[in-house]
Chain A
Amino acid sequence: MSNYPSENPQLPEDINISTSHPLKDFLVLLVGVGCIVGLLVLSISLLATYLSPLVPFSWEHQVLESWQQPAVDEPYQQEFERLLRVFKLVEKQSELETDMTLHIHHMDSEIPNAFATLGGHIFVTQGLLSQVQSDTGLAMVIAHEIAHVKHRHPIQALSRGVLIQLVMAVILGDNGMANSLISPSGTMLALKFNRDMEYQADETAVAIIKRSFETLDGADEFFRIALEEHGSSGWSDVFQTHPDMAARLVRIRQALK
């Protein structure tokens, strides 16, 4: 009799594969990695918030010093003068530190928008100028952007963004699939800091406005129009750089009283 088998053995199935449910595995991993990424983004953001104000404003200014306002087109000349006038009024009351200088720019764009960037450069679009009729309304928008500069928000946002991108790139490497899951969630967390900045800028802006004008009627004009046009963003708040307009308007109105 041969000592070789006459047929292949029947092997148990669960030795080379694990029997745990794949969904359970996935959820445990998701929660674990989520916590780690959350902590990482949080600490980087806090680091950026506290360290970037230590960068002297003059450095920021040097980078964008050569940025000159191009000549404003003829039809907008009047609007530009109004912008300059209101800007000067607000700037006087903004109580900036002595080394900070502000520059106002007019942008030929129909979309109502205003933003502040590195070096104290503030941009206001033609669309916003034609939408916001009252001087107090325009002053509130400008004061909001000045407040961003005052609190060093542009450099904070920039350094936070760069740091998060860098750390993510180092950790994830070419791990494509994890990248597509983790990067958006990291970005979403970082946006929370942006919303906190908006609230802070709103508060400071109201304080500036209170010093510049006697009557505060119409200071919320831009926010009111924006809310009427786009409506409340509701639950999608998590995905926005700016906080929910309705909540913001309530806060601003309270502060204005």
Chain B
Amino acid sequence: MLISNIEIIPNKKIVQHLGLVQGSTVRAKHAGKDIMAGFKNIFGGELSSYTELLQESREEAISRMSQQAAALGANAVINVRFSTSAIAAGASEILAYGTAVVIED
């Protein structure tokens, strides 16, 4: 599955647009990591546990979006956009959406 965040995929021809697909997930880290992040807040620096959390979520959102696209018979998703929102303390929602297309060389 090719993913692109522009309207085209270079060197490929879009033969069919199929429609909107989206993938989303809500995840949280366990309380231990939340506490460590709280301490880290005092000193500053990267909160690696949350970086990891968001990265995992983003991957899952993309994989869910790809599943939807595959179900429509697409082989690429173009114009992909992300949207992140904090849903509850320590949990975040990641949404990925784009247009499923069929491409040819």
Binding site for B on A (CB under 8 A): 3-5, 8-9, 11-12, 15-16, 170-175
Contact = CB atoms under 8 A, between A and B. Distances in A.
B35 A15 contact: no
Interface string B70-98: 01100000000000000001100000000
A170 B38 CA distance: 10
A166 to B, nearest CB: 13
- For the complex of A and B, list the 6 residue pairs with the smallest distance between their C-beta atoms, beginning with the closest: A9-B19, A4-B17, A3-B16, A12-B71, A9-B72, A15-B67
A15 B19 contact: no
Give the interface residue-count category, chain B: 20 to 34
A171 B31 contact: yes
B6 interface: no
B89 A173 contact: yes
- The residue in B22, B23, B31 that gathers the most chain A C-beta atoms within 10 A of its C-beta is B31
Contacts of B34: 173
A172 B90 CA distance: 11
Contacts of A11: 21, 68, 71-72
Contacts of A4: 17
A220 to B, nearest CB: 47
Interface string B1-36: 000000000000011111111111100000100110
A76 B34 CA distance: 58
B64 interface: yes
Contact of B18 (A9, A16, A173): A9
A42 B5 CA distance: 53
25 contacts: A3-B14, A3-B15, A3-B16, A5-B18, A5-B19, A8-B20, A9-B18, A9-B72, A11-B21, A12-B67, A12-B71, A15-B23, A15-B64, A15-B68, A16-B22, A16-B23, A16-B25, A16-B68, A170-B35, A171-B31, A173-B34, A173-B89, A175-B31, A175-B89, A175-B90
Nearest to A9: B19
Interface in B21-75: 21-25, 31, 34-35, 38, 64, 67-68, 71-72
A8 B19 contact: yes
Contacts of A173: 31, 34-35, 38, 89
Given A4-B17, A174-B89, A15 B71 contact: yes
A4 B18 CA distance: 7
Contacts of A172: 31
A3 B71 contact: no
